Amino acid sequence: MDARLFLRSTGAGVCLAMGLGCAFTTETIHIAYPGPVSVEKVKGAEAIKVKVEVKDLRPNPTREVAKKINAFGAETAPIFNDEDVLPLLKRAVEMELRARGYDLEGGKVPLQIELLTFIHRYNSGFFSGDSLAEVSFLVRIRDAQGREVYTDTVMDSFKHAAGVFGGGNVKQAYEQALPGAVRKLMGKAEFHAALAKAAEGA
């Protein structure tokens, strides 16, 4: 048997036997956003009509959200999300706003979310490694005259141990990092005060 064919078939057999996706096989995952639970309504939020706008400021906007690594720590096949990241981010922000009582129908107060990073890295160790996801975005609120009344940069990350460097751990990390970042924003009193101020002349 040709040596290259032997190595290829042996490697595939090992991957199948271990129940793992091969490091050189492209994978697609679905990053879900867990809905907020037991969130307190913001006073007066029902009178504020918010329009969420998202923009991608990443150097290379793509559905690729991670790369697999091999046993030596070298990056191999890409891991994609099954949809663009921007719609996911927009839904996440809107979900959190609705849970706090804001009106998103016919929104007049522009809330701009500019995605800065949506990245994941695997690090391999001697026996196992770790999975790290990081999400960050810039937030802008403008009043009816177009004046900026609020700006902030929000970031969160999630790191956990990983023995398998495939899509499952990537999904798990993002499903912690994204809510972490969005809820950090929602936890800021000055953010809600700025929405109320911007709504005054809307």
Distance CA 163, CA 23 (A): 13
Q: What is the per-residue pLDDT across 184-201, written as a single tens digit (0 to 9) for each? A: 999 999 999 999 999 997
Q: What is the per-residue pLDDT across 85-127, written as a single tens digit (0 to 9) for each? A: 999 999 999 999 999 999 999 888 999 999 999 999 998 876 6
Cβ atoms of residues 121 and 65 within 8 Å: no
Count of other CB atoms within 10 angstroms of residue 150: 19
Chain centroid offset of residue 58 CA: 13
Distance CA 199, CA 97 (A): 15
Rounded-to-5 percentages of helix, strand, coil across the chain: 30, 35, 35
Cβ atoms of residues 192 and 44 within 8 Å: no
